[in-house]
Structure 1
Amino acid sequence: MVQSHGGTGNELRQRNVDASAKPLTTTDEGRKVDQLLDEHQTYEFGGPAGVTAMMVGFPMLMYYLWICLWFYDGKLVYPASSEDIVPFLGRMWAHIRDDASPNAYAWKVYTGLVVYQLFLALVMPGYKQEGLPVPSLGYKTLMYNCNALYSLYATMLTAAALHYYHIFRLTEIIDNYGHIMSVAMIYGFAVSFGMYFITVAAGNEIRMSGNLIYDVFMGACLNPRIGSVDLKMWAEVRIPWVIVFFLAVSGGCHQYEQYGYVTPNMAFMILATWLYLNACAKGEECIPQTWDMYHEKWGFMVIFWNFAGVPFTYVYSVVYMASHHPSNYQFSTPTYVILFVILLTAYCIWDTSMSQKSRFKMQTQGITTFRNTFPQLPGGTLKNPEFIQTAHGNRLLISGWWRYSRKPNYVADWTMSFCWGAVIGSATIIPYFYSVFFITVLIHRCGRDFERCSIKYGKDWEHYCSVVKYKFIPGIY
């Protein structure tokens, strides 16, 4: 049974509809709204001043937290007095200069990863997936070659061989953390500015404000491609999560070489990062159905975060464990059991909720067959899902996990992020940065998303909110 609300004063009615029975088309009313949403309306993130502060401040924060974690036992250090400010800044700079210089070795490692991942994306066979209609392209749909899964396992096999034959020891990743992080930051800035100028020169810019820094931050291009490779989707999976996973593996190798075993805490992080990376790869065909692909531009906000932010701020727990004796973060067996159960439960909810939403969108396009990649969890595809038909032409899902929360995937995603910090207990608060930062990003992102949906769907969005009452946690918020 499907609920339908016209959004133009029509009475609420119920009828039996199969979500895959007929591909949807955007109505004339919807096209007018989409045209409005594809124009620059207001500044976000505090405008030019706000984005400038973030572009300068976030790299500085990354250096500061790494220095505290690596050199000051995880303690947040600061000047003891006003007279100590200059010497304190001098000490900070000395750590960056000596231990995080973008040396030749770091350039080879990071550039090697980028080039290899791009090569795999170009040559590996993949699953062809049609994306959602893009308003700025006249509702044309783009095809995506989803070969991240083959690329992932090719990368794992390559890394294992390089490590085994002592060509590239995986322990070197964590040992050169600061140097590689600096190179990653340079890549983030260079690609962001480079893509902006290339896009403007080619005349393919969209939704521009006219302010250089703000437009570099938000991006100028929507669907940048090299051959069959969509760079935005490629960078979202192939760079950040591959680095995150191999940082965890590097930490495990480091422990094994030093102590002769891998702690349950490090094993937890290796499992957690693999689950996340594998989920992105096995469900890559779901990514073209997301807002990131058909609406969010490829600018500094996304580029820097994928090239540097995610890989070098999300696994501070691994950095701490690799530089401290296991006695600093040992737990009881029941605590380990609880941690693993929470992680796996949150993962299952995250995986299936993402699958439900993406495959529902595919069903509305008339797509009824889906990939069978490992692991496919029960409930990932909804049969005869309930939805609200909008006057815009789209359908809003109100079945499965999406009946209880407007963002069930965010709740599960954040829970996993908290576990990534909790795995070292109270040894240091720095690994909790991921979950604190992430919840801030998610709340802000939801605000942007809900505002856009309110404009796009009007009364239908109000009706949707009355059906799905809670933004995040059912019964709470």
Structure 2
Amino acid sequence: MRDMTGPGNGGGRRKRQSPRSSSPRPGREVDRKLDQHETYEFGGPFGVLAIMLGFPTLMYYLWICLWFYDGQLVHPSSLDDIKPFLATMWTHIRQDAYPSRYAWQVYGGNILFQFFLAFTLPGYKQEGLPVPSLNYKTLTYNCNALYCLYATVVTAAVLHSTNIFRLTELIDNFGHLMSVGMICGFSISFGAYFFAIATGSQIRMSGNFLYDVFMGAILNPRIGSVDLKMWAEVRVPWVIVFFLAVSGGCKQYEELGYVTPNMAFMILATGLYLNACGKGEECIPQTWDMYHEKWGFMVIFWNFAGVPFSYIYSVVYMARTDPAKYQFSTLRYVLMFTVLLTAYYIFDTANSQKSRFKMQTQGINTFRTSFPQLPWGTIKNPTFIKTAHGNRLLTSGWWGYSRKPNYVADWVMSFCWGAIIGTATPIPYFYSVFFITVLVHRVGRDFERCSAKYGKDWERYCDTVKYKFIPGVF
């Protein structure tokens, strides 16, 4: 999963300061302890094995329900029906989700094109936070996602309008593309592990093969100027998600002669998210994902398969279903768009406030301008708690109301992605249900690490910012 502190709208040229000044010696001792494997997460080896096998199975099942059974959660009616039920499920996968040549060409072509753009286009140079495992070295990131996005949109429009590649074919080949994405997710996860072992670049290892493949062995894999972890987080999943939504809209227009407000909502929602990732890419190097989280199955599979093919179930449903089953009143459409845009505003500005605050602590005081800039993206004269570790904990802006305001806004958007089809089927709500589970778990990991890192200062911070998510509630 991604760190939600990423897509904001900050940036800037930094005044270099010595990495040694970023963390006093007591803080370094804590960092060294936190940068070692001490306990298993996610249920340990058996837990991660269940996740690695269970999620692909669940993704296939939910796709089958949407594609063949009008979004109904089908199941065997008796024990005697289990075997024929499983046989039917397998038939659907074998016939309509096999990794076809077309799917390899489209999925693989997009991956290569996105990498080519990331490798060749100019970008904004941004340094990340000092990385403890690299002796507090800062890495430079070439942030050109916005240029890559524009180049991709223009290329797709030309190919579609000239009938070289029709975007409607994406949603029609959803199952095939999903299988290719899963194969890539597994292959790259194991490949990254073996590469780390072969080059001696592994860190924070547990010694258990499956667990280390899941959590990752390497921290900052790179090919030239392209940081593979950040590239895969921004360029792969959200590009696919957006174009699947556009494909659904194109399919409706060709079949119905118009695009439903529900589908337009999803095109807007996915477009906003993709643009947020691009315009605020220079904020991502400041996040937990970049300087601490390793590049393993947990991140890789979700970027290459999980996000693009499970967050977009509402589009899959609408592309296969009569619009009469999910039409709303005008008032409800107004409410849905208002909630989405409000949540996006909080999400964008909260991320921007946090990222720009971190940049300010590194000596960055001028910020990159990229479209669209939203008011209150930077806090003037921010309040904070200075820790003995050397870091500062922000206590103003949205971050004075709760410790994770961006997570709340992000989850509201995810809920809207399901709610846009109402109660026609529960499957599109998978994103928000899964997402809240991930967020709560991630917050627990984050707060536990902060408590160990900051000690009494963390207690002082929690006394100042009392609520984890929703002010006055929780």
Are the aligned partners of 1:209 and 1:215 in contact in 2 as well (CA < 8 Å)?
A: yes
Residue in structure 2 matching 1:423, options 420, 423, 438: 420
Counterpart residue type for residue 307 of structure 2:
V
From 303, 306, 309, give the equivalent of 1:309. Answer: 306
Q: Is the 8 A contact 1:248 1:315 kept in 2?
A: yes
C-alpha separation between the residues in 1 aligned to 2:17 and 2:112?
42
1:423-464 deviations in whole A, cap 9, x for unaligned? 000000000000000000000000000000000000000000
2-structure distance, mates of 1:435, 1:25: 37
Q: State the SS of the aligned residue for 1:129.
A: strand
Q: Distance in 2 between matches of 1:43 and 1:298?
A: 17
Q: Could you list the per-position Cα deviations for residues 228-282 of structure 1 after superposition, in whole angstroms to 9, with x for gaps in the alignment?
A: 0000000001000000000000000000000000000000000000000000000
Deviation, structure 1 residue 325: 1.0
Q: CA-to-partner distance for each residue in 1:347-389, whole Å, 9 max, x for gaps?
A: 0000000000011101110011111000010011111110000
**Partner amino acid, structure 2, of 1:329:** Y
Tell me the residue number matched to 2:134: 137
Given candidates 131, 143, 147, the residue that maps to 1:146 is: 143
The correspondence of residues 173-188 of structure 1 with structure 2, limited to 5 A, is 173-188=170-185
User: Structure 1, residues 142-174: CA drift from partner, whole Å, max 9, x if none?
Assistant: 000000000001000000001011111000000
Q: Is the 8 A contact 1:391 1:460 kept in 2?
A: yes
Asked if 1:115 corresponds to 2:112, the answer is: yes
Q: Please list, as runs of the form range in 1=range in 2, the aligned pairs for 1:310-325 lying within 5 A after superposition.
A: 310-325=307-322
Pick from 61, 64, 70 the counterpart of residue 64 of structure 1: 61
What's the counterpart of residue 26 of structure 1?
23
Match of residue 397 from structure 1: 394
**Where does residue 45 of structure 1 map in the other structure?**
42
Residue matched to 1:259: 256
3-state SS of paired residue (1:207): coil
Name which of structure 1's ranges 22-31 and 467-476 shifts more when overlaid on structure 2.
22-31
The 3-state SS of whatever aligns with 1:308 is helix
Residue 25 of structure 1 deviates from its aligned partner by 1.9
The equivalent residue for 1:54 is 51
Match of 2:206 among 205, 209, 215: 209
Note the residue ranges of structure 1 that are not aligned, 5 or more in a row.
1-19
Paired residues for 1:277-316 under 5 Å: 277-316=274-313
2: CA distance between counterparts of 1:385 and 1:239?
35
Cα distance in 1, alignment partners of residues 169 and 442 from structure 2: 36
2:251–2:319 Cα contact (<8 Å) kept: yes
Residue 366 of structure 1: SS of its match in structure 2? coil
Contact 2:22 2:130 in 1 (8 A): no
1:425-464 residue pairs with structure 2 within 5 A? 425-464=422-461
Letter in 1 for 2:335: I
Q: Contact between 1:144 and 1:288, CA under 8 Å: does it hold in 2?
A: yes
Q: Does the 8 A contact of 2:383 with 2:396 survive in 1?
A: yes
Q: Distance in 1 between matches of 2:266 and 2:204?
A: 40
Q: Which residue of 2 aligns with 1:245?
A: 242
Q: Is the 8 A contact 1:22 1:364 kept in 2?
A: no
Distance in 2 between the 1:396 and 1:474 partners? Answer: 18
Deviations 1:305-362, CA, capped at 9 Å, x for gaps: 0000000000100000000011010000000000000000000000000000011101
Letter in 2 for 1:141: T
Q: 1:108-151 CA distances to partner (integer Å, 9 max, x unpaired)?
A: 00000000000000011100001000000000000000000000
Extract unaligned runs of 5+ from structure 2: 1-14
Q: 1:442 & 1:368 partners in 2: Cα distance? A: 31
Amino acid of the structure 2 residue aligned with 1:387: F
Superposed CA offset, 1:199-233 (max 9, x none) = 11100000000000000000000000000000000
Aligned amino acid, residue 359 of structure 1: R
Q: How far 1:403 sits from its partner (Å)?
A: 0.3
The AA in structure 2 aligned to 1:159 is A
| 8 A Cα contact 1:187 1:307, kept in partner | yes
Give the Cα separation in 2 of the matches to 1:42 and 1:148. Answer: 36
Distance 1:297 1:212 in 2: 15
**Alpha-carbon distance in 2 for matches of 1:25, 1:211:** 33
Give, in angstroms, the shift of residue 22 of structure 1: 8.3
User: Structure 2-normalised TM-score?
Assistant: 0.96
- Pick from 347, 352, 362 the counterpart of residue 350 of structure 1: 347
Matched letter for residue 377 of structure 1: L
Instruction: Give the alignment partner of residue 78 of structure 1, picking from 75, 82, 87.
Output: 75
Conserved 8 A contact 2:219-2:295: yes
Matches of 2:55 and 2:229, distance apart in 1? 21
Secondary structure of 2:22 counterpart: coil
Matched pairs, number: 459
Percent identity (aligned): 75
Q: What residue is the counterpart of 2:229 in the other structure?
A: 232
The equivalent of 2:9 in structure 1 is: none
- CA separation in 1, counterparts of 2:224 and 2:392? 32
| Equivalent runs, 1:310-389 vs 2, <5 Å | 310-389=307-386
Q: Which has the higher contact order (CA 8 A, sep 6+)?
A: 2
Q: What secondary structure, in the 3-state scheme, does the structure 2 residue paired with 1:145 have?
A: strand
Give the alignment's TM-score, normalised by structure 1.
0.95
Question: Can you list the C-alpha shifts for 1:395-416, whole angstroms capped at 9, x where unaligned?
Answer: 0000100001000000000000
Q: Match for residue 194 of structure 1?
A: 191
| Counterparts of 1:163 and 1:138, CA distance in 2 | 49
Question: Contact (CA 8 Å) 2:385, 2:395: kept in 1 or not?
Answer: yes
Q: How many angstroms apart in 1 are the aligned matches of 2:128 and 2:376?
A: 22
Cα distance in 2 for residues equivalent to 1:188 and 1:406? 32
Give the Cα separation in 2 of the matches to 1:105 and 1:163: 16
> Would the alpha carbon gap of residues 21 and 216 (structure 1) be closer, same or farther in structure 2, given more than 3 Å must change?
closer
Contact 1:30 1:391 in 2 (8 A): yes
